[in-house]
Structure 1
Amino acid sequence: MRIYAAYDDGLRVVDPATGAVETRLSGQRVECLSVAHGEVREDADGATDPPRVLAGTFGAGLFRSVDGGSRFACVTASTLGPDGSGPDAVTAVATSPHDPDVVWIGTEPSRAYRSVDGGETAERVDGLTDLPSAAEWSFPPRPDTHHVRWIEPCPADPERWLVGIEAGALAVTADGGERWTDRPPGSRRDTHAMATHPDAPDRVYAAAGDGFAESGDRGDSWRVRDAGLDHGYVWGLAVDPGDPDTALISAAESATAAHRRGEAYLYRYRRDEGFDRLDERGFPTGEGTYRAVLASGRAPGEIWALSNRGLFVTRDAGDSFEQVPADLPDRAARALSVA
């Protein structure tokens, strides 16, 4: 197993068994990650191919590793951005669960691209910036721009994708980008992360600056869920691999508390119970803690959490956490993936 942690100065590849850390893409601001698990080879030894890692950077484009993160090469450089001039930033990337060669890429300014060769090349997905809400999109720290913050594939439909714009809209396509639904009823305006589970393919969770929401119809409509949630600025999100009804989120009272002042918390969401704040479970929260990024593991109950206080894992869906003794930066990470 490897853990991939994206920071503003590079990518850290962590061996959780030993705590060893290797830095890749040094000096690059890594914004987003997508990891496709290696396939089992149909040969005599039945070995598994290494995972493919995609890392989007702010200003240098998309990088790909086909050997689990040992080496990276820049890809799609000639096909992203206006007239192939390259994007200002790659801010979101997602791999289809139906076909690992299908990759969607989001950028700043807000554009979406689709690759059918594992990220080697990409073509623009039209229509997104023609949505009625596009004139209202704006990212507060850089108000003259905006970006695709998250892309989520549907586990039951290879043509359905959900795209979160920071900030201003959630957009859904049911036909691979030919047509779009702008701001489905109840959807959030500032989506930071979304999550699905193959055992509940119609359900989508969304963590947003304006709350936590859930869809039961693949993103066509949404309901806010906030029972027990004392902090409305939600950032990180991961679903229990063994239970689609259970998810963990990171949250704070505001963007300032989450990113600048450092006062963030961790919650567990259960659909039949609402939210439960996970204080004193082994994961640091409260004063001095920036918002965590989260990633589902590979076993029931296993969820990884990373903040400026370190890398932690729960194997019981949040009842308890243990820290990985890895030498990681003491600042907020941008993204987290597990393979």
Structure 2
Amino acid sequence: MTTLHAAMRDRLLVCERDPDGDRAATERLAGYDIECVACSPDAPDRVFVGTFEDGLHRSTDGGDSFERVDEGVAGDAVTSVAVDPHDPDVVYAGTEPSRVYRSTDGGAAWTHLDGLVDLPSEPEWYFPPRPDTHHVRWLEVDPFDPDRLYVGIEAGALVLSDDGGETWRERPPGSRRDNHSLATHPDREGRVYAAAGDGYAVSDDGGESWNHPQEGLRHRYCWSVVPDPGDPDRVLVSAASGARTAHAASRAESYVYRRAGDGPWERLDGRGLPTGEGVVRAVLATTGEPGTVYAATNRGLFRSRDFGDAWTRLGVAWDEELERLTPRGLAAV
């Protein structure tokens, strides 16, 4: 049974399958300004939710209840969380202003991994709505090397660490500046995918250099990226023409694209997943099942079992209030 944790802007939806095949959605953390959600198949009852004004929250019962767990984390804005695929007790959190923290006890206590804002390009980092600051939008742990970290700064840099965050390197050749999400693949060492405000990028050498296959990708403000668990050469991204048409339902126009191998991008219209006018950029998530991908937009929760050829709307009640909200994250376990 797959449980979905959909982080909407002001609530978390915990969605479990009912015996009749529909999904019962339970609201948690109502009224919180939610930024991100993360969990691990190796510890599926442990769920982390980052908020902008109320720090980091953890559930140890699959989302039934939450407690604040950010001892050692400075400030109240937790903008990204990642669970180490090698050890679910190792968790990373990113904040605004940009800092990275690590926990080795499942989130009970945290240690600051300093040095990030000492990088030479830091004076150029900025988040346009709040130009005097910036934040860690995404954290990714390499599935082949637990000491290798990928950090996306919104906006300003892709940052790498080879030693678990003890030291940092920035802006490898070809990397994007405005990274929104990153992904790796457990079957392809060195493969890293990036969805960024300045386009899509892919690396085959662990982020040391990047290429930009853009043919067919007509909307290049990219937000969410996932590879097919069964094929590292197939990838989906959600995209819009810019930030203005990505995030607010009142003016949104966004799409989902798919790429296979070295071919061009294909826009997935008319396949059961709402796209286009009025639809905010999707957040995408996978489990380990080949071909299976989940999507959340302001129009509901969706699943494809053939990596985007056809989508089914999941049986979760979705009212007009939810249609006005923008999803911030999606985790499936």
**Residue aligning to 2:186:** 198
- Deviation track 1:273-328 (CA, whole Å, cap 9, x = no partner) reads 13111011111111111111000133111000110111111000111000012124
Tell me if 1:314 matches 2:308: no
Mapped contact 2:237–2:258 kept (Cα < 8 A): yes
Q: Which amino acid aligns with 1:219?
A: G
CA distance in structure 2 between the aligned counterparts of 1:170 and 1:240, rounded to whole angstroms: 23
The counterpart of 1:70, out of the listed 64, 67, 70, is: 64
**Residue aligning to 1:284:** 274
Mapped contact 1:37–1:52 kept (Cα < 8 A): no
**1:153 shift after superposition:** 0.6
Tell me if 1:121 matches 2:122: no
Tell me: CA distance 1:88–1:74, structure 2 relative to 1, closer, same or farther (3 Å).
closer
Tell me if 1:134 matches 2:127: no
**Residue aligning to 1:275:** 265
TM-score, normalised with respect to structure 1:
0.93
**Residue aligning to 1:84:** none
CA distance in structure 2 between the aligned counterparts of 1:259 and 1:13, rounded to whole angstroms: 22
The counterpart of 1:31, out of the listed 31, 35, 49, is: 35
Q: Which amino acid aligns with 1:323?
A: R
CA distance in structure 2 between the aligned counterparts of 1:220 and 1:334, rounded to whole angstroms: 28
**Residue aligning to 2:45:** 51
**Residue aligning to 1:165:** 153
Q: Which amino acid aligns with 1:136?
A: E
Q: What secondary structure, in the 3-state scheme, does the structure 2 residue paired with 1:129 have?
A: helix
**Residue aligning to 1:147:** 135
**Residue aligning to 1:88:** 76
Tell me if 1:10 matches 2:27: no
Report the identity percentage.
53
Mapped contact 1:38–1:51 kept (Cα < 8 A): no
CA distance in structure 1 between the aligned counterparts of 2:59 and 2:225, rounded to whole angstroms: 25
Mapped contact 2:136–2:153 kept (Cα < 8 A): yes
- What 5-or-longer segments of structure 2 have no aligned partner? none
Q: What secondary structure, in the 3-state scheme, does the structure 1 residue paired with 2:146 have?
A: strand
CA distance in structure 1 between the aligned counterparts of 2:170 and 2:124, rounded to whole angstroms: 12
- Deviation track 1:212-263 (CA, whole Å, cap 9, x = no partner) reads 0001111111111201101110001111111111111110111111113110
**Residue aligning to 1:79:** 72
CA distance in structure 2 between the aligned counterparts of 1:38 and 1:124, rounded to whole angstroms: 25
Q: Which amino acid aligns with 1:75?
A: V
Q: What secondary structure, in the 3-state scheme, does the structure 1 residue paired with 2:86 have?
A: coil
Q: Where do residues 173-322 of structure 1 align in structure 2 (5 Å cutoff)?
A: 173-260=161-248, 261-322=251-312
CA distance in structure 2 between the aligned counterparts of 1:37 and 1:152, rounded to whole angstroms: 16
Q: What secondary structure, in the 3-state scheme, does the structure 2 residue paired with 1:267 have?
A: strand
CA distance in structure 2 between the aligned counterparts of 1:174 and 1:99, rounded to whole angstroms: 17
Mapped contact 1:79–1:123 kept (Cα < 8 A): yes
**Residue aligning to 2:314:** 324
**1:123 shift after superposition:** 0.6
CA distance in structure 1 between the aligned counterparts of 2:109 and 2:296, rounded to whole angstroms: 31
**1:38 shift after superposition:** 4.2
Q: Which amino acid aligns with 1:111?
A: R
Q: What secondary structure, in the 3-state scheme, does the structure 2 residue paired with 1:223 have?
A: coil
CA distance in structure 2 between the aligned counterparts of 1:119 and 1:218, rounded to whole angstroms: 27
- Deviation track 1:121-172 (CA, whole Å, cap 9, x = no partner) reads 1010011010001011100011111100000110100100000000001100
Q: What secondary structure, in the 3-state scheme, does the structure 2 residue paired with 1:175 have?
A: coil
Q: Which amino acid aligns with 2:15?
A: V
RMSD across aligned C-alpha pairs, in angstroms? Answer: 1.1
Q: Which amino acid aligns with 2:268?
A: L
Q: What secondary structure, in the 3-state scheme, does the structure 1 residue paired with 2:246 have?
A: helix
Q: Which amino acid aligns with 2:4?
A: I
Tell me if 1:106 matches 2:94: yes
CA distance in structure 2 between the aligned counterparts of 1:37 and 1:288, rounded to whole angstroms: 33
CA distance in structure 2 between the aligned counterparts of 1:38 and 1:224, rounded to whole angstroms: 33
Mapped contact 1:38–1:52 kept (Cα < 8 A): no
Mapped contact 2:42–2:88 kept (Cα < 8 A): no
CA distance in structure 1 between the aligned counterparts of 2:213 and 2:317, rounded to whole angstroms: 36
Tell me if 1:336 matches 2:316: no
**1:33 shift after superposition:** 1.2
Query: Displaced runs of 4+ in structure 1, greater than 3 A?
Result: none
Q: What secondary structure, in the 3-state scheme, does the structure 2 residue paired with 1:151 have?
A: strand
Q: Which amino acid aligns with 1:79?
A: G
